[in-house]
Amino acid sequence: MAIRKIVMYPNDILEKHCQEVKKFDKKLGKLLDDMYETMIEYDGVGLAAPQIGVDARVAVVDIEDETGTIEMINPLILETKGEQTGPEGCLSFPGLFGEVSRPNYVKIEAFDRKGRKYTLEAEEFLARAIQHEIDHLDGVLFTSKVLKYLSEDELKGVEAE
């Protein structure tokens, strides 16, 4: 595994619609391992492939709950419900945090590294992290959804995606 360099905003790769993964091979496994290691190194709760300069619909999420690490390849949002508003940050925007509203519940379909399709339901913070990462794969950045930027005093233990 290797820690990759995080792409900072502005960079074109952060604003493009990423390509579908077609090959579920060793290279994809290595990419996921590197993404996971990089996310941990930078204390994030999620990381999308474009954030390490890779044009592929691949993301990892780990909010350190009982769900563990979620690997999302070619994820699709099947259903959303409700609304939540909370602080959000992004590893590609160091030090920038803002309040973002998102659906409180999300149901997704994605593939794991072996090409097995799965569905996953999530609520609250996990749902927020998943939606933030899937947005990255469409070139959508959280800054386009910020209602209000937050000062350091307003932030306590907010983790970046």
By C-beta, is 24 or 37 nearer to Zn ion? 37
Closest to Zn ion by CB, 24 vs 124, is: 124
Q: Kindly state the smallest distance separating residue 144's Cβ from Zn ion, in Å.
A: 12
Let me know if 133 is a catalytic residue: yes
Q: Which is nearer to Zn ion, 90 or 108 (CB)?
A: 90
Q: Please tell me whether residue 130 binds Zn ion under the rule CB under 5 A.
A: no
Checking 20-27 for CB contacts under 8 A at 24+ apart, the result is: 20/57, 20/74, 21/56, 21/57, 21/58, 21/73, 21/74, 21/111, 24/73, 24/111, 24/113, 24/114, 24/115
What separation in angstroms does the CA of 146 have from each of 51, 123, 124?
Answer: 19, 20, 17
Of 15, 121, 123, 133, catalytic: 133
Tell me the per-residue interface mask from 81 to 100 with Zn ion, x by CB under 5 A, - otherwise: ---------x----------
Residues 6+ apart with CB under 8 A from 124: 84, 104
Distance in Å, CB of 81 to Zn ion, minimum: 23
- Of residues 141 through 160, those in contact with Zn ion by CB under 5 A are none
Nearest distance in Å: CB 9, Zn ion: 9
Q: Single out the residue of 101, 102, 90, 100 nearest to residue 43, CA to CA.
A: 90
Which listed residue (34, 62, 71, 161) binds Zn ion by CB under 5 A? Answer: 161
Q: At 78, phi and psi to the nearest 5?
A: -95, -35
φ, ψ of residue 81 to 5 degrees: the values are -145, 150
Instruction: Please report how close the Cβ of residue 14 comes to Zn ion at its closest, in angstroms.
Output: 9
Just list the catalytic residues: 133
Give the binding site for Zn ion (CB under 5 A). Answer: 90, 161
